[in-house]
Structure 1
Amino acid sequence: MCEDHHAGLGRRALFVTGAAAALTLGSVTFARGADDMQHSETRTVRGTLPPGSPDFVYVPVEIPDGVREIKVSYTYDRPSVPAGTQGNALDIGMFDERGTELGGKGFRGWSGGARTEFFIRADEATPGYLPGPVREGTWHIALGPYTVAPQGLDYELTITLTYGEPGEAARPTYPPQRAKGRGRAWYRGDCHLHSWYSDGRRTPAEIAALAREAGLDFINSSEHNTHSAHAHWADVAGDDLLVMLGEEVTTRNGHVVALGTEPGTFIDWRYRARDNRFGRFARQIRRSGGLVVPAHPHATCVGCNWKFGFGEADAVEVWNGPWTPDDEMALADWDSMLVASVRENGRGWIPAMGNSDAHRSPDPVGSPQTVVLADDLTREAIQEGIKAGRSYVAESKNVSLTFTATGGRGRRAGIGERLDVDRDTPVTVRLEASGAPRCTVRFVTDQGVLLTSAPLPVSGSGVVEWRTTPSYAAYVRAELRHEAAVGPLPGALAAFTNPIFLGRSPHS
């Protein structure tokens, strides 16, 4: 075993990714080559990252010919820090000989901080990493100092190359983009889920079983910063469960779900809002057939709060997992965006979604879930329904809603639609709910909450109606709230809808 040391960042070369500056350290080299078949060779590298380190530090590894497998393990210190101060957290990933260019083809995997070691070879790789040949050239271990303690971050990398004939690479198979639907109907889905292919603890099979139990018709694979799970969902999809493929693009300034991209699509995450690069990757998501959905925009974890604005968003994840104060903030922020869209006659409004973000037991899959009116149970039809806002969000399969507005000469509009009537035409808004015992119904408009009902009966079913005009309410949306626990704060959501817009369309 050979050892090398990176003395702080003193032996570094500045490497520009095309957006933010990153650091490339001195190369790790191996003496042996193809003549040493069936043997292995190990190098150990130690170094220190100071506070203020760049987001990504690359350790080049010179891979000779004849390598069957590369294995990397790492450790780093976790010193005590004062209360309120961030300690050390170091993420890790890998790029192959094709390089580390932003949006390039060299990506071979990412485990963030979820694993202490990984391997890559032609026929198999650690979850989070892509199997394939270990070709000769300069590979790069990517270190991501997520947070660094005031004392700095001491790390140790152990790199082992095993020589020999490569295994036979398997051709990936992907789930179908269509399931057996019911024609135009309401379909239930959860589009933000994590398996053991990133930092989750469940297998795809376990997630699929829980999805079926939760009454879901569709799900979306959304691992942090890797598409390595795409080839592992085909066996668990079926006529009753559409599995879409995507990624949770986890940047230092917020997370975005790439929802329903083409199989094998990788979306880079190595940029901040100040780098002015997000638009490029949002366009890549859409070119790859996906939707751009900012996730948990007011989450409080480091790097989780959404900083890129919503100009590129196709929808926004307003409700993420168990209802919390940051979801309440996201709901209020989204409602303010709806009000702003009224100034543009409802053009460009951003629909809301809800997803579980489930990682491990006891995180429930399908709580919440987005219920979408779609023409069929296909990837494109579900995406079209989400993008059009023909959806509501419910805490479970038990909650069902029908929300409509009627007025004029038999005109009718549903969720995500516009009731195209004159501004003074009487309008009746009607909500039919089931599965929400003791919940209160609220009708929210661009003026705020204009109707709060009495609690629904213990049966959970009821009808609430309200009459208004487009001149009084430019839109109306519905909320079902549980009983409030304390004071004047509203209770947790049981469900909420996207809006119905009221009044003439500027194009009518």
Structure 2
Amino acid sequence: MCEDHRDGAGPARRALFVTGAAAALTLGSVTFANGAARAGGGHATRTVRGTLPPGSPDFVYLPVEVPSGVREIRVSYTYDRPSVPAGTPGNALDIGIFDERGTDLGGRGFRGWSGGARTEFFLRADEATPGYLPGPVREGTWHIALGPYTVAPQGLAYEVTITLTYGEPGAAAKPVYPPERAKGRGRAWYRGDCHLHSWFSDGRRTPAEIGALARAAGLDFVNTSEHNTHAGHAHWADVAGDDLLVLLGEEVTTRNGHLVALGTDPGTFVDWRYRARDNRFGRFARQIRRAGGLVVPAHPHATCIGCNWKFGFGEADAVEVWNGPWTPDDEVALADWDGMLVAAVREGRDWIPAMGSSDAHRDPDAVGHPQTVVLADDLTRRAIQEGIRAGRSYVAESKNVTLAFTASGGRGRHAGVGERLEVDRDDPVTVRLEVSGAPRCTVRLVTDQGVLYTSSPLPVAGSGVVEWRTTASYAAYVRAEVRHETAAGPVPGALAAFTNPIFLGRR
């Protein structure tokens, strides 16, 4: 083994530059000499140490000069976690890698990302650490990507160790992806969870374990959404079946909010290395759509660092209003979305449907809590996406909760969730909600004026029917909420379910 330990400040800083997105710092190169280590299929190791100050760029690239004849590259890293004053973020350092094709925005050279979920990874032609793409280790300048997510006032001291193993590469396996169609029931309501994490990013469950939990939760479809990597796409084919459609995607995790790319073409990678101020988001929203996916901002009012959505909603196909167990930031997201509905009515423009997903990572996170229930023509990728994009959906906390929401007017006119009831302004309209699986819950009917109807609690059996009469002049739209009991005071209880709106009146 050949070792080279560099102490002190680490490799010299080579350049601070802007990549067309967030500022990035490139360090001096790590080199491996040709020689004896290669002759017998041996390996060589280099260790680099350095310190990143507070205010470091979002990404720091460590170039690695990879010679010919390398079979495997393996990287491990550590960093210090000093004590910090209360209320001050400590150190958190993410990691990934780009190959000899470079680090340009768009990700042509992308080979993997694990964020802060792993302390080491490897990749070679036939296999790679989850989150990383197997493939040949070609000669050229590779880049280890460090992401100083937060830096303590004392700075962030890090150590990166790179090991190259020489020898003949293994045979690369051809990826197999899940089918775009499951058996289905024709035009029907299908339940899905579109925001999930496996061990291919920072989750702790295998795809097989998630598949079993999805079936137990009564789901018909799921969408893969690993943080900043598509490396798991080829590992879900065995999970899919006649009873479970697996869509492929990514959670694009930027410093200014997270985005679910929902149902993209297999092998689609969406870059995340930009902030709202860089004016690059539209480019990648369009890429998602070209790849057949939907653009869905996730947990837009989440309180974690970098989680709050700051790109606006002009590119959104839907918005994830409910994320995991109901919390105050979901309540804010629901109110914000309702405000967007009012703006859409006022300005006569398209509206953005709402969704809900579990964002489940590990036990005890419940897959399918909540779940989006979509009216689709069949259980296919395209049909599910069309139903979501049209807003023909509601969100429920579990498979136990079922809603049927309609509005009807004179001469046999009727409309369902996500649709418009074409009636004159003063024509009488009857809004009807049938509920099951929601014991002791209260129904609220919400319009552009606010909550205009609140029911008595449903019986312990959990089923009931609510009817309310209105006109298009009084309510531009109506949507339904089913809420649990609250302990006290005017604060509403947690959601058991809610619907997308039915619009009333002529366009």
Same fold by TM (over 0.5)? Answer: yes
TM-score between both structures, scaled by the size of structure 1: 0.98
Aligned match for 2:143, one of 137, 140, 145: 140
Structure 1 unaligned runs (5+)?
none
Aligned counterparts of 1:119 and 1:104: Cα–Cα separation in 2: 19
The answer to whether the aligner puts 1:128 opposite 2:138 as a matched pair is: no
Aligned match for 1:83, one of 68, 76, 86: 86
Aligned match for 1:372, one of 351, 371, 374: 374
Q: Residue in 2 aligned with 1:25? A: 27
Q: Residue in 2 aligned with 1:394? A: 396
Q: Residue in 1 aligned with 2:158? A: 155
C-alpha deviations, 1:240-288, integer Å up to 9, x for none? 0000000000000000000000000000000000000000000000000
Task: Check the 8 A contact 1:9/1:48 in 2, yes or no.
Answer: no
Q: Residue in 1 aligned with 2:323? A: 320
Q: Kindly state the Cα deviation for residue 437 of structure 1 after the two structures are TM-superposed.
A: 0.3
Q: Residue in 2 aligned with 1:434? A: 436
Residue identity over aligned pairs, in percent, reads 86
Task: Check the 8 A contact 1:6/1:45 in 2, yes or no.
Answer: no
Q: Residue in 2 aligned with 1:218? A: 221
Aligned counterparts of 1:258 and 1:498: Cα–Cα separation in 2: 21
Task: Check the 8 A contact 2:320/2:357 in 1, yes or no.
Answer: yes
Aligned counterparts of 2:343 and 2:7: Cα–Cα separation in 1: 55
Aligned counterparts of 1:248 and 1:13: Cα–Cα separation in 2: 30
Aligned match for 1:3, one of 2, 5, 12: 5
Aligned counterparts of 1:222 and 1:190: Cα–Cα separation in 2: 10
Q: Kindly state the Cα deviation for residue 300 of structure 1 after the two structures are TM-superposed.
A: 0.3
Q: Kindly state the Cα deviation for residue 329 of structure 1 after the two structures are TM-superposed.
A: 0.2
Q: Secondary structure at the match of 1:165?
A: coil
Q: Residue in 1 aligned with 2:358? A: 356
Aligned counterparts of 1:281 and 1:3: Cα–Cα separation in 2: 40
Write the mapping of 1:42-121 to structure 2, written as runs, cut at 5 A.
Answer: 42-121=45-124
Q: Which amino acid aligns with 1:229?
A: G
Q: Secondary structure at the match of 1:53?
A: coil
Aligned counterparts of 2:427 and 2:411: Cα–Cα separation in 1: 10
Aligned counterparts of 1:320 and 1:250: Cα–Cα separation in 2: 15
Q: Residue in 2 aligned with 1:411? A: 413
Q: Residue in 2 aligned with 1:383? A: 385
TM-score between both structures, scaled by the size of structure 2: 0.98
Q: Secondary structure at the match of 1:327?
A: helix
Q: Secondary structure at the match of 1:486?
A: coil
Q: Secondary structure at the match of 1:207?
A: helix
Q: Secondary structure at the match of 2:460?
A: coil
Q: Secondary structure at the match of 1:386?
A: helix
Write the mapping of 1:107-506 to structure 2, written as runs, cut at 5 A.
Answer: 107-345=110-348, 347-505=349-507
Aligned counterparts of 1:164 and 1:14: Cα–Cα separation in 2: 36
Aligned counterparts of 1:84 and 1:352: Cα–Cα separation in 2: 33
Task: Check the 8 A contact 2:93/2:116 in 1, yes or no.
Answer: yes
Q: Which amino acid aligns with 1:161?
A: L
Q: Which amino acid aligns with 2:386?
A: E
1:485–1:32 distance in 2 versus 1, CA, 3 Å? farther
Q: Kindly state the Cα deviation for residue 208 of structure 1 after the two structures are TM-superposed.
A: 0.2
Task: Check the 8 A contact 1:436/1:494 in 2, yes or no.
Answer: yes
Runs of 4+ in 1 over 3 A off after TM superposition: none
Q: Give the RMSD, CA atoms, in angstroms.
A: 1.0
